[in-house]
Amino acid sequence: MREHNIAILAGDGIGPEVMAEAEKVLAAAGQQFGFSFRAEHQLVGGAAIDAHGTPLPAQTLASCEAADAILFGSVGGPKWEHLPPNEQPERGSLLPLRKHFNLFCNLRPAKIHPGLEPLSYLRADIAAKGMDVLVVRELTGDIYFGQPRGREGEGEQEYGYDTMRYSRFEIRRIARMAFDAARQRRGRVLSVDKANVLTTSMLWREEVIAIAADYPDVTLEHIYIDNATMQLLRRASEFDVILCGNLFGDIISDEAAMITGSMGLLPSASLNESGFGMYEPAGGSAPDIAGQGIANPVAQILSASLMLRHSLGEGAAADAIDSAVSAALADGCLTGELLAPGSQQRPLSTREMGDAIVQRIKEAR
Ligand X SMILES: CC(C)CC(=O)C(=O)O
Distance CA 150, CA 19 (A): 35
84 annotated binding-site participant: yes
Active-site residue 254, yes or no?
yes
The least CB distance from residue 260 to Mg ion, in Å, is 15
Q: Which residue in the list 68, 132, 162, 254 is annotated as catalytic?
A: 254
Active-site residue 250, yes or no?
yes
Q: Using CB under 6 A as the criterion, what x/- string covers residues 247-266 for binding ligand X?
A: ---x----------------
Q: Does 94 bind ligand X (CB under 6 A)?
A: yes
Q: Which residue in the list 142, 144, 166, 279 is annotated as catalytic?
A: 144
**Alpha helices (H) along the chain:** 15-33, 46-52, 58-66, 89, 95-100, 124-127, 168-183, 199-212, 225-234, 246-260, 298-310, 315-330, 350-363
Pick what 263 binds: ligand NAI, Mg ion, ligand X, none; C-beta below 5 to 8 Å, kind-dependent: ligand NAI
Q: Are 245 and 138 in contact (CB under 8 A)?
A: yes
Active-site residue 194, yes or no?
yes
> Residue from 90, 142, 170, 322 that binds ligand X (CB under 6 A)?
90
Q: Name which of 139 and 308 has its Cβ closer to ligand NAI.
A: 139
The least CB distance from residue 137 to ligand X, in Å, is 8
CA distances from 195 to 60, 175, 252, 301, 342 (A): 40, 16, 17, 37, 44
The least CB distance from residue 141 to ligand X, in Å, is 12
Q: Does 303 bind ligand NAI (CB under 6 A)?
A: no
CA angle 183, 185, 191 (to 5 degrees): 75
Pick what 289 binds: ligand X, ligand NAI, Mg ion, none; C-beta below 5 to 8 Å, kind-dependent: ligand NAI
Pick what 350 binds: ligand X, ligand NAI, Mg ion, none; C-beta below 5 to 8 Å, kind-dependent: none
250 annotated binding-site participant: yes
Q: Name which of 238 and 255 has its Cβ closer to ligand X.
A: 255
The least CB distance from residue 102 to ligand X, in Å, is 16
Identity of the amino acid at 20? A
What radius of gyration, in Å, describes the C-alpha atoms of the chain? 20
> Residue from 77, 109, 245, 277 that binds ligand NAI (CB under 6 A)?
77
> Residue from 285, 305, 326, 349 that binds ligand NAI (CB under 6 A)?
285
Q: Are 228 and 120 in contact (CB under 8 A)?
A: no
| 302 φ, ψ (degrees, to nearest 5) | -70, -25
Q: Are 77 and 290 in contact (CB under 8 A)?
A: yes
Our separate counts of H helices and E strands in the chain read 13, 12
Distance CA 189, CA 204 (A): 14
* Interhelix angle 15-33/350-363, nearest 10 degrees: 10
Longest CA span, the chain: 67
Which residues between 234 and 253 bind Mg ion (CB under 5 A)? 250
Q: Does 138 bind Mg ion (CB under 5 A)?
A: no
- Binding site for substrate, residues? 98, 108, 137, 226
Provide the binding-site residues for ligand NAI, judged by CB under 6 A: 14, 18, 74-77, 90, 94, 262-264, 280, 283-289, 295-296, 299, 337
Could you list the active site residues? 144, 194, 226, 250, 254
